[in-house]
Amino acid sequence: MIHPIPPGTRDVLPDEMRELRRLHLAMIEVFEDRGYGEVSTPAIEYDEVLARGDGRTADSAYRFFDERGDLLALRSDMTVPIARLVASRYAGAEMPLRLCYLANAFRAVRPQRGQMREFAQAGVELIGAPAPAGTAEVVEVLEATLDAAGLDRAVIGLGDADLYRQLLAELGVEGEARAAVLGKLAAHDLVGLEEELSSLEGIGDEQVATCMALSQLRGGREALDEARSLGGDAVERATARLGETLEALEARGVADRVQVDLGLLRDLGYYSGAILEVYDPALGHVLGGGGRYDGLLERFGLDLPAAGFALYLERVHVAQMEEEPRGGGGVA
Amino acid sequence: MGRAKADGPLKLAVPRGALFGETLDALNAIGIDTAELRGESRSLIFEAGGITLVTMRPSDVPTYVEAGAADVGITGKDVLLEQADRVVYELLDLGFGRCRMVLAGRKGDEKLGESERRLGMMRIATKYPRTAQRHFESTGRQVEVIEVKGSVELAPLIGLADGIVDLVATGRTLEENDLEVREEILECTARFVANRVAHKLRAAEVDELTAKLREQLA
C-alpha cells in the first residue's frame, strides 16, 4: 500500500544516503579543520523570534500553534536561528565566534529536482569579524568546501547588497516605487525594470541606462572599473567596498574563482555589504549563497558584524553526479 | 534541475508555433543560418551559427531555461506571465509577435455584466488561468476561472462561460465567432530570456547574443 508524504518532502534510501553522508562528513571536516564548531538548533522556533531576524518569514511554509496557543514556525534557514543562539548563549563571549551546521530547513517553494520544501543546508557563520577580512575568511572556507565536494569548476559570484538601496536613495526613488524597482532587479526582469524606471518622475534616460548597465556588469576587476565609470556616490561606495573585499581575497589567494557581479541581489532581507552566490556549470540552479549581515545580530540585541554561507546539500550532490563524466565530482 | 554545461555551444530554446517565423527572421538578422529549421526536417535540435537551436512549444521554453537544459530562449510575455513562478532572467523585449490579452464576450450580450451584478461573479474560460485570476483580483472583481485547453471561443457560445480571456492578434477569430473585445488586459511581445546560472557562467556569450539581438531591433 502507498501512503503519501507531503509535497516537497521525500524519503532517502541507503544508496543515496550513503553518498549524502559522505558529502556531509567531508564538508563538516572542512569546517571543523578551520575552527568552526558544529551546532544544532530546534527545527521549530517561535514565529516572532524568526520574524525578528527576517520580517519576510513568509518564506517559512509551515506555521502552527502549540498547546498554549503560541505561534510556532519551521525555520526557513539557519542564519536567523544561529543569530538567536549567539545572542542568547554567547553574549559577552570572546569574538570572533566560528560556528557551522548541517541542518534541514523548510520553505514554500514549488517542488522540483533539487528544490524541495524540506532541504538540508551545510554552512558556516563567522560572528564578530568585520569586512573585508571576515568576508575573505568565509570565501576561503567556501572554496575549500567546494573543493572537498570535488566541484572544482564552481564559481562564486560576489555582489553588494547595499548598492541598489543606496543608488535608489540617491535617485530619490522611495516607497512603493523603490519596492517595485528592487523587485524587478531581484527577478532580473530587465524589460520590466526599464519600464518601471522610465515611468518614474525625475529619472532621466541616462539614469535609467546606468541602472540597466549596472545590473549587467559581471566579471573580474574590470567590471568594477566599468561600474565606476557610470558615476554616482552609491556606485562609488559599493565599488570601493567590493574592491576592498577583492583585495582581501587576493591577499588570501582565494580570488581566482570569484566573479564580481553588480547585478547580484539576494532575496533575504538581512543582508548588508558583500553578498555571495555559488554556481556550477553542471547545474542550472544556484548551489548556495551567503554574505554579510552586519545588522542581523543587533536585531537580537548583540551589535556584532557577521558573515556566512550555506550550500544546499542535495544540489551539491546533484552537481557532483553531473560532474562525474568529466572526472570531477566525488568527495576528495 | 538539469545540466547547463559550460562546455559546448550555447543552447537557445526556439519557440515553434506563432512566434516561429519571426524568431527565425530575428536569428537570420544576426547572422544565424536558419534554412535547416525552415525545411521539412522533423529534427528538434539544430546546429547553426556556433549555437545549438532547440525547438519546442513556447510554453515549454521557461521550463527548459529555468532548469538550465537550455541556456537562453525566446518566448512570449503571455507565457512568462502565466508561468511567473519560473525563475528566468528576462533580458530583452524583441518587439515581434505583438498581440493583446483581452477579455471578450458575445456581441450584444450582457451576460458578463449580468452575472457580475446578480450572481456576484463572472465565469471566465481561458488558457491563461493565472493571468486571468490576477487581472480580476487586481481590479477588485470576483470570477470563476475555467481552464480549457482547446478553442476558448467555444465556451461562451454554448454556455460554459460568460466570457473569455485570450490572446488576440488580428481579432479575426473573435469576429468569426461573434465575440467582441470588452477589456484590454495587456500587450504581449516576444522576450529573450536566460537561465540564471548561464547568465553568470557564460556571461560573454549571453551578453554578445543579447547585444546582437538588441542591435537588429533598431
B51 lies in some domain: yes
Confidence of residue A14 (pLDDT cuts 50, 70, 90): very high
B175 lies in some domain: yes
What are A265's three cell numbers?
541581489
Positive/negative CA dihedral, A39, A45, A49, A50 = positive
Give percent of chain B above pLDDT 70.
Answer: 97
Instruction: Give A183-242 pLDDT, tens digit per residue.
Output: 899 889 999 999 999 998 888 888 899 999 999 999 999 999 999 998 789 999 999 999
In sequence order, which residues have a C-beta less than 8 Å from that of residue B62 and are 6 or more positions away? B73, B75, B79, B80, B83, B86, B88, B193
Give percent of chain B above pLDDT 90.
Answer: 83
How many structural domains comprise chain B? Answer: 2
The alpha carbon of residue B197 is apart from the nearest alpha carbon of chain A, in Å, by: 6
CATH number of the domain at B50, please: 3.40.190.10
Could you give the ipTM of this predicted complex? 0.85
Q: Do A259 and B200 touch (CB under 8 A)?
A: yes
Instruction: Give B28-38 pLDDT, tens digit per residue.
Output: 999 999 999 99
Taken in order of first residue, the domains within chain A and their CATH numbers are 1-43+74-159+267-332 (3.30.930.10), 162-265 (no CATH)
B155 lies in some domain: yes
Structural domain span for residue B158:
99-187
* Residue B5 pLDDT: 47
Shortest CA distance from B64: residue in chain A: A284
Q: Do B93 and A191 touch (CB under 8 A)?
A: yes
Phi, psi of B12 (to 5 degrees): -110, 125
Q: Do B85 and A282 touch (CB under 8 A)?
A: no
Q: How far apart are CA B156 and CA B185, in angstroms?
A: 19
B6 lies in some domain: no
**In chain A, what residues touch B217 (CB-CB under 8 Å)?**
none
Q: How far apart are CA A153 and CA B201, in angstroms?
A: 10
The alpha carbon of residue A89 is apart from the nearest alpha carbon of chain B, in Å, by: 39
- Residue A175 near residue A276 (C-beta atoms within 8 A): no
Q: Do B196 and A155 touch (CB under 8 A)?
A: no
My answer on whether B199 and B164 are in the same domain is no
Instruction: Give A230-245 pLDDT, tens digit per residue.
Output: 878 999 999 999 999 9
The alpha carbon of residue A131 is apart from the nearest alpha carbon of chain B, in Å, by: 24
SS3 state at A48: helix
Measured CA angle at A256 (ends A253, A260), to 5 deg: 115
My answer on whether B31 and B137 are in the same domain is no
What are A187's three cell numbers?
527577478
Residue to substitute from B201, B206, B217, interface A, most A β-carbons within 10 A: B201
B205 lies in some domain: yes
- If one counts every other C-beta atom within 10 angstroms of the C-beta of residue B113, the result is 14
DSSP secondary structure, B143-165, as one string: EEEEE-SS-TTHHHHTTS-SEEE
- Residue A122 near residue A102 (C-beta atoms within 8 A): yes
Q: Do B200 and A190 touch (CB under 8 A)?
A: no
Phi, psi of A230 (to 5 degrees): -75, -20
**In chain A, what residues touch B5 (CB-CB under 8 Å)?**
281-282
What are A45's three cell numbers?
522556533
My answer on whether B33 and B91 are in the same domain is yes
My answer on whether B134 and B194 are in the same domain is no
Q: Do A115 and B7 touch (CB under 8 A)?
A: no
* Residue A57 pLDDT: 52
**In chain B, what residues touch A276 (CB-CB under 8 Å)?**
none
The yes-or-no verdict on residue B12 having pLDDT over 80 is yes
Confidence of residue A58 (pLDDT cuts 50, 70, 90): low
My answer on whether B41 and B106 are in the same domain is no
- If one counts every other C-beta atom within 10 angstroms of the C-beta of residue B172, the result is 9
Q: How far apart are CA B20 and CA B56, in angstroms?
A: 10
For the ranges A102-116, A165-179, B134-148, the maximum mean pLDDT occurs at: B134-148
Q: What is the DSSP letter of B46?
A: E
**In chain A, what residues touch B206 (CB-CB under 8 Å)?**
none
Q: Do A189 and B89 touch (CB under 8 A)?
A: yes
What are B174's three cell numbers?
473573435
My answer on whether B19 and B83 are in the same domain is yes
- If one counts every other C-beta atom within 10 angstroms of the C-beta of residue A257, the result is 17
The alpha carbon of residue A265 is apart from the nearest alpha carbon of chain B, in Å, by: 12
My answer on whether B43 and B53 are in the same domain is yes
Write the residue in A155, A280, A284 that is nearest to B69 by C-beta: A284
B1 lies in some domain: no
- Residue A55 near residue A101 (C-beta atoms within 8 A): no
Residue to substitute from B65, B90, B187, interface A, most A β-carbons within 10 A: B90
- If one counts every other C-beta atom within 10 angstroms of the C-beta of residue B110, the result is 11
My answer on whether B86 and B27 are in the same domain is yes
* Residue A301 pLDDT: 94
The yes-or-no verdict on residue B155 having pLDDT over 90 is yes
Query: Does the bond joining A111 to the residue before it have cis omega, within 30 degrees of 0?
Result: no
B77 lies in some domain: yes
Confidence of residue A291 (pLDDT cuts 50, 70, 90): very high
My answer on whether B82 and B19 are in the same domain is yes
- One-letter amino acid identity for B217? L
CA distances from B7 to A48, B94, B202 (A): 47, 27, 10
Query: Does the bond joining A4 to the residue before it have cis omega, within 30 degrees of 0?
Result: no
The yes-or-no verdict on residue B88 having pLDDT over 70 is yes
Write the residue in A155, A189, A285 that is nearest to B201 by C-beta: A155
